[in-house]
């Protein structure tokens, strides 16, 4: 079973990228994406640490922004151990694997998002996810290294799917043509632009929190591609778009 995409956002150390690539290949995963790696790409330290996982490193794709990196993906889990005070569903690695395998079984692209070593994921990055993937650990010492986090999730993928080559999608996870992140981001920007124009997102000091709440709300809705197009049409109509003539109505 081809696995999910692993996205490393703003990784700092080439060694961690290489270690992540190595453990991905250990557990049968090869699709790696990097968002603005600090020390550039390609990276010799990553190559040395990968210890032969050339397939993963050579195939790694580099993006300037997180929006570009996740644009073609549907379901995304964000790995974080911090309480973000967001209305986000939280899943263990094992629970996340069931959903990811369901997406892969339906031939839909999906992914797991990992943050930078020093700061982890930003709130803006977490907002783009459908749920949070939280690795249970010692509450008194819970911080995991980037490559360690990748290793845990990759291992859970291998353990949960290696004996299930014909994985059947549980009924509760079946989705009809879900919107991609590119579709959703386009809708987010569209409605937020119009809300700025109407001065709904006011005062400026509260705009970021309001946008965060709205985007989380839309993410929880699990919108399909057609639903996103319908919502965008509604926004256009309400903001002065072309109106139907009476003779067209009936």
Q: What are phi and psi of 157, to 5 degrees?
A: -60, -50
**100 has a pLDDT exceeding 90:** yes
Q: Which two tokens stand for residue 199?
A: 């001065």
Angstrom distance (rounded) from CA 34 to CA 196? 32
Angstrom distance (rounded) from CA 93 to CA 158? 11
Give long-range contacts, CB 8 A cutoff, 24+ apart: 187-194: 187/218, 187/223, 187/228, 187/231, 187/232, 188/214, 188/215, 188/218, 190/232, 190/235, 191/231, 191/232, 191/235, 194/235, 194/238, 194/239
Query: Is the entire prediction scored with pTM above 0.85?
Result: yes
Tell the residue number behind the tokens 């080559």, with chain if given: 165
pLDDT in the model for residue 244: 58
Over residues 7-49, the pLDDT tens digits come to: 999 999 999 999 999 999 999 999 999 999 999 999 999 999 9
Percent of residues, the chain, with pLDDT higher than 90: 74
Over residues 113-147, the pLDDT tens digits come to: 999 988 899 999 999 999 999 998 888 887 889 99
What would the mean pLDDT of 87-104 be, rounded to a whole number?
91
Angstrom distance (rounded) from CA 229 to CA 234? 9
Picking from 41, 42, 30, 37, the residue whose alpha carbon sits closest to that of residue 1 is 30
Over residues 226-239, the pLDDT tens digits come to: 999 999 999 999 99
Within the chain, what is the greatest distance between any pair of CA atoms?
70
pLDDT in the model for residue 175: 66
pLDDT in the model for residue 248: 54
pLDDT in the model for residue 241: 65
Over residues 152-201, the pLDDT tens digits come to: 999 999 999 986 655 565 666 666 788 999 999 999 999 999 999 999 99
Q: What are phi and psi of 32, to 5 degrees?
A: -115, 135
Over residues 202-224, the pLDDT tens digits come to: 999 999 999 999 999 999 898 99
Percent of residues in the chain assigned helix, strand, coil, to nearest 5: 50, 10, 40
């Amino acid at each position: 079973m081809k696995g999910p995409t692993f996205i490393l956002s703003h990784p700092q150390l080439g060694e961690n990228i290489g270690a992540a690539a190595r453990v991905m290949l250990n557990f049968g995963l090869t699709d790696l994406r990097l968002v603005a790696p600090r020390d550039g790409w390609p990276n010799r330290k990553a190559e040395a640490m990968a210890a032969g996982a050339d397939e993963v490193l050579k195939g790694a794709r580099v993006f300037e922004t997180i929006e570009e990196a996740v644009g073609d993906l549907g379901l995304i889990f964000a790995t974080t151990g911090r309480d973000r005070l967001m209305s986000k569903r939280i899943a263990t690695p094992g629970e996340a694997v069931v959903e990811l395998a369901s997406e892969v079984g339906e031939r839909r692209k999906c992914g797991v998002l990992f943050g930078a070593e020093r700061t982890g994921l930003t709130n803006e990055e977490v907002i783009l996810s459908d749920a949070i993937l939280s690795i249970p650990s010692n509450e008194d010492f819970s911080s995991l290294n980037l490559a360690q986090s990748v290793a845990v999730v990759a291992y859970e993928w291998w353990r949960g799917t290696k004996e299930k080559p014909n994985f059947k999608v549980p009924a509760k996870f079946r989705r009809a043509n879900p919107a991609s992140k590119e579709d959703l981001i386009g809708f987010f920007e569209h409605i937020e632009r119009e809300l700025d124009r109407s001065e709904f997102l006011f005062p400026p000091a509260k705009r970021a929190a309001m946008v965060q709440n709205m985007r989380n709300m839309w993410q929880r809705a699990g919108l399909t591609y057609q639903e996103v197009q319908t919502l965008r049409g509604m926004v256009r109509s309400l903001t002065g778009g072309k109106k139907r003539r009476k003779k067209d109505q009936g």
